[in-house]
Structure formats: C-alpha cells, structure tokens
Amino acid sequence: MPSNAQMTLSDSLLTLLRTTTIEPRHDEQLEALTLAVAADLPVLLWGEPGIGKTAALTQLAASLDLPLTTVIASVHEPSDFSGLPIVGDDPATQGVPMAPPQWAVELVRAGRGLLFLDELSTATPAVQAALLRVVLERKVGALQLPQGVRIVAAANPRASAADGWELSPPLANRFVHLHWVHDRDVVVRGLGGVWPRARLPRLAPERLTDAAAYARRAVCGFLEARPNLIHQLPSSETRRGGAWPSPRSWEAALTLLAFGTAADVSRDVLGLLVRGAVGDGPGLELMAHLDRLELPDPESLLADPSAADLPARGDLRQAALEGVVAAVGARPEHDRWAAAWALLVRAMETGSPDLLVGPAKALAGLRRDDWEVPEALERLAPVIGLTEGADRSVARVTAGQVRRASR
C-alpha cells in the first residue's frame, strides 16, 4: 500500500481516538472551576504533570463554546505581556505606545474567550511581574481585554516543575487556587471517550439580591470578629505563592460566596472555592462561621420546643443546643429553663442522645434552689446516664489496654 494511503489511514485512526462525547456527571472540582469562571475571577490550577489540567481546560472551553487561547508563560518575554514599545510619528508629544502581541489582538477581535496561561510556575520573576496587569486589570500593553475574556492558569508544584520558581506573592494573591487531582472513574470514562460536561452554574434570578446581601453579611461579620485575618502574609516563601488572606482575596471570597449561594452549590464546592481564595485556615473558619449563621434562633426554639426544627448535622445540632443553654443563662427564668429541657427531649427523639450530655450538664447547672425539676429532665436522666456510663466503660477499657501494653 502506498505510503500516502497509510498516512490517510493513520489520520483516520487518530480522528477516531480523538473523537469524544460529554455526559452530565457530578464533579466537585470541575463545578468549582466553572463557578469561578462565571464569577470572572482568575483561577490557578495546581497539579502534578500529566494530571489532566490542560485537557480539563480544553474540555471546559469546548463545553462553554469559548475560543481557547493558550499562552505558555515560561517561553515568553516580559514584553509579550507588558507590550513592546514602538516609536510613533511624534514620540515627544504622543509618547511611545506599547504594542500588544498577536494573541491579545485576536482575543479583542473575538470579544470573548478563555485565556489559558500554562506553566506559570516555570515563568521567571520578570515574566510574573509583567503578568500582574494582565491578570488583575486585563490589560496587555495598551490593549484592554474585553469583559467576555476569562483567565485560567495552570502550574506544577515547584518540586515537579522544570526549573520551577515559587509564585510571587502579588501574583499568587490575584488567583483563586484550586488543587487539581485525578478521579479514577473520570479518567477511565474519559479514556473510553466520555468526559464530564462542564456548564456554567445556573443562577436563580430571584436569589441574586439575597445572595449578595448574605455574602456581604457573612464576610463582614466574620472579619469584624477576626480582624487579624484581614491581611496575613504567610511567613514561608512556598505559602506566599498560594492562597492567603488580603482585602483583595476576601473580595474574591465574597464574590464566590454570592455566586455559590445564588447557584445553590454544595457546601463542599463552596469550601473548595473559599479556601482557594483566602487559604485553608481562614477559609475553614469562614465556613464554620457560615454554619453558625444558619443556626436557628435560640429564642424561637424556646418559644415552641415541641415543634422545634433542629439541624440534622450533629455538630450544628449541638451548637444550636448550646446556644439555647447560653440564652437561658443570659436570662435565667424558670419557664425558659423548663422549655430548654423540653427542647432537649425533642432533640433526643429526633437525633443521637450522645449530643445531649454537654448541654444537659450545663442546663442542670443553671437551676435555682426554688425551681421544680421538670418532667423532661426525668425523661432524659436514663439516656444521659447510659451515655456517661458508656464513656466511663470506654475509658476503663482504654486505661487497661495502656497498662497491659506498658508491662
């Protein structure tokens, strides 16, 4: 068979292998990426070489019907991002304009697109400095990128990057950092020709106003309680190249919280995004603060204990009960104290009794000498007694094991 015919067959086989389809599939990291893209925040995907970052961006652009422009940051000069100075007709009066590169001109001509800055951790410090205006202000030389352009970057950890550099703190603080890991099922299905479908989050029009107000209230309330987290530059060079809290990154977290609330995304996806904006520690604290915001009002629970709707999640339920005990302690009255015991009975009937031990002890400590013991307390006594007895048994067994191991 002639060689050109063999090449034609080779091309046909490659076309078959490269032809894939998409399917609806729950993927938390892909959902987090698309929400950040919808919120018009620059995203940086961290992952080991070959993990699928570039493939995910190619699939994202195709799914969202956005033209993809890939720029390998490490093989460009600073002038490719800050602009190349050119001499005009009269530089003394008009100055020296900064000419943008071709890829930026094409993005402006298209009016929309996905700008993918690859190999960011192998870009020199000079190139990283030139990227600051591109990422934050969307300016390339004298050219302003249109609003329809979204920016996503990818980087390898320094240990696995070729001649890698740590990201400079100013550049790192402009991104939402997502750690990209492979999912076995996604990889197997993808190699079989079916990849997850990426789609922008569905924002509910009727929730936009409330979502914005909720995000502002949550972030501002949290920072009022934890002002030391408003700006906290990490001490190590490696952590400075990741997510850390600053007024800029808190603004990003607020935006992500509003978009996530309006789109009703899962708490896990929202956690990925918030931690990717301000760092793991501050992000986890903010998520805990959100949980406290969603706790029921203690006074409402005391007003009608028999119909109280307590949180299903164990930690939130215990926090709600502890809030009720604190409310009774702030205004100790016999009727409120008895209502709190009735609420504990309600909690026993609808959840695990293990969560009642702490609140019950604290509530018992609030009793005044002239207060009669309510019937609810007597109903709880056997359950709490059994729980405490089980705890003591576990402690005795553990102590015995320690003694035997030490012999």
pLDDT tens for 20-50 read 888 888 889 999 999 999 999 999 999 888 8
In the three-class reduction of DSSP (H, G, I as helix; E, B as strand; rest coil), residue 230 is classed as coil
The pLDDT value given to residue 24: 81
pLDDT tens for each residue of 348-373 = 888 888 888 888 888 888 888 888 87
Starting at the edge strand found earlier in the chain, the sheet holding 176-179 runs 68-72, 112-118, 148-155, 43-46, 176-179
Q: Which of 47, 60, 52, 68 is nearest to 116 (CA)?
A: 68
What is the four-CA torsion angle of 191, 192, 194, 196, rounded to 10 degrees? -40
Residue among 56, 47, 45 nearest 20 (CA) = 56
Q: How far apart are CA 135 and CA 138, in angstroms?
A: 6
Rounded to 10 degrees, the C-alpha dihedral 124/125/129/130 comes to: -20
Q: What one-character-per-residue DSSP string does 144-197 give?
A: EPPTEEEEEEEE--GGGSTT--PPPHHHHTTSEEEE----HHHHHHHHTTEEEP
The predicted pLDDT at position 159 comes to: 64
Pick one of 3.40.50.300, 2.40.40.20, 3.30.565.10, 3.40.50.720 as the CATH number of 23-87+95-196: 3.40.50.300
* Average pLDDT of the segment spanning 67-93: 80
Cα angle value 102/108/109 (rounded, 5°): 85
On the question of pLDDT at 393 being above 70, the answer is no
**Which pLDDT band, with edges at 50, 70 and 90, does 283 fall under?**
very high
For residue 197, how many other CB atoms are within 10 A of its CB?
A: 15
Q: Is the dihedral of CA 45, 50, 51, 55 positive or negative?
A: positive
SS3 134: helix
Residue 397 burial (CB count, 10 A): 10
The answer for residues whose C-beta is within 8 angstroms of residue 119's C-beta and 6 or more apart is 72, 73, 74, 75, 154, 155, 156, 161
User: Is the per-residue pLDDT at 94 higher than 50?
Assistant: yes
- pLDDT (tens digit, 9 = 90+) per residue, 127-171? 999 999 999 899 998 889 999 999 999 998 876 655 678 889 999
- The chain-wide mean pLDDT, for the chain, equals 85
Provide the pLDDT confidence category of residue 12 given band limits of 50, 70 and 90. very high
pLDDT band at 397 (very low <50, low <70, confident <90, very high): very low
pLDDT value at residue 69? 93
Q: To the nearest whole percent, how much of the chain has pLDDT over 90?
A: 42
pLDDT band at 396 (very low <50, low <70, confident <90, very high): very low
Q: Are 92 and 131 in contact (CB under 8 A)?
A: no
pLDDT, residue 384, reads 64
- Give me the pLDDT at residue 355, please: 83
- Looking at residues 301-316, what average pLDDT do you find? 86
Greater confidence (182 vs 245) lies with 245
Which segment of 5-9, 73-77, 83-87 scores lowest on mean pLDDT?
83-87
23-27, 68-72, 86-90, 274-278: which has the minimum mean pLDDT? 86-90
Would you place residue 402 in the very low, low, confident or very high pLDDT band (cuts 50, 70, 90)? very low
pLDDT for 196-217, tens place per residue? 888 888 999 999 999 999 999 9
